[in-house]
Amino acid sequence: MQTIYILWLRQLKRYSRSRARIIGSLAQPLLFLVALGFGFGPIYQKAGGGNYIQFLAPGIIGMSVLFTAVFTGIEIIWDRQFGFLKETMVAPVTRLKIMFGRTLGGATVATIQGVVVFLLSLIAGFRPVSWLGLFPAMLVMFLTALLFTALGTAIASTLDDMQGFQLIMNFVIMPVFFLSGALFPLDGLPPVIMLVARFDPLSYGIDGLRWALIGLTHFGFGQDLAILTAVTAVLLAVGSYLFSKIEI
């Protein structure tokens, strides 16, 4: 447990020291929130959907968690290239503990990022239907962050260069985001797109956030939690196996 705690703390310190990374990671969600929220807001309202900022904000929070969580995996490649990973690997602890410590640290950072975007959304005009919903929202954010941090770790464990990681992430993560219902309702979609959305784990993270923050749900909050937990467990197992096979 001490090893996991130390690696978790190291991830938090690395994040807090990088001011450029913090500011840069907030630029994209803020742009989506302002440009889409106010740009498509009148159209969404005329279509009978109500306040688009209210609908959009949980999706942008989920987007922030997604991108921050996945791209923590690139730190594995960075540490491998500069020898920091080797120093960690030769420590008298199992690779499983190292992987869990790094993953928990990355998930915590992504959750903090989601909270910051939530605070920015309040400035943009978003209001949760109940402040008590913040507790289940935090749970959903952490599960989503843990899931995609484990995915980023699994992918990074099989790669040697950062360029390859970024290409794969763009190929995987952009469809995951755009087909999750973060920007549009899932009701009434064509059957093919709805089928893809059902297999998209982020769909359940976004849906859980919407239920917690504005009381809307497509799948049901219980199903959201069950699927997020199950997929997270599977990806943690896969990520642990691939991380254990890293050659340094």
Task: Write down the domain spans for the chain.
Answer: 2-244
Residue 95 pLDDT > 80 = no
The reported pLDDT for the residue numbered 7 is 57
At how many degrees (to 10) do helices 2-17 and 19-39 cross? Answer: 70
Positive or negative, the CA dihedral 132, 133, 135, 138 is negative
Average pLDDT over residues 44-60: 82
The reported pLDDT for the residue numbered 67 is 87
pLDDT > 70 fraction of the chain, expressed in percent and rounded = 79
The reported pLDDT for the residue numbered 203 is 93
Q: How far apart are CA 207 and CA 225, in angstroms?
A: 10
pLDDT tens digits along 181-231: 888 888 888 888 889 889 999 999 999 999 999 988 889 999 999 999 999
Average pLDDT over residues 27-35: 80
The reported pLDDT for the residue numbered 188 is 80
- Residues 129/132/133/138 CA torsion (nearest 10 deg): 140
Per the prediction, the chain carries an average pLDDT of 81
Q: Which residue has the higher pLDDT, 25 or 106?
A: 106
Q: Residue 234: which pLDDT band, with cuts at 50, 70 and 90?
A: very high
The reported pLDDT for the residue numbered 28 is 79
The reported pLDDT for the residue numbered 205 is 94
Least confident of 4-8, 36-40, 94-98: 4-8
pLDDT > 90 fraction of the chain, expressed in percent and rounded = 23
The reported pLDDT for the residue numbered 107 is 87
Long-range CB contacts for residues 86-90, cutoff 8 Å, separation at least 24? 86/248, 88/7, 89/246, 89/248
Residue 53 to residues 23, 25, 192, 203, Cα–Cα distance (Å): 22, 20, 27, 18
Most confident listed range (73-87, 143-157, 199-213): 199-213
Q: How far apart are CA 146 and CA 140, in angstroms?
A: 10
The reported pLDDT for the residue numbered 19 is 52
Residue 126 pLDDT > 80 = yes
Q: How far apart are CA 122 and CA 124, in angstroms?
A: 5
Average pLDDT over residues 86-105: 70
Average pLDDT over residues 45-73: 84
Residue 115 pLDDT > 70 = yes
The reported pLDDT for the residue numbered 206 is 95
User: Based on the number of CB atoms within 10 Å of its own CB, is 148 exposed (0-12), middle (13-18) or buried (19 or more)?
Assistant: buried
Q: Which residue has the higher pLDDT, 9 or 96?
A: 96
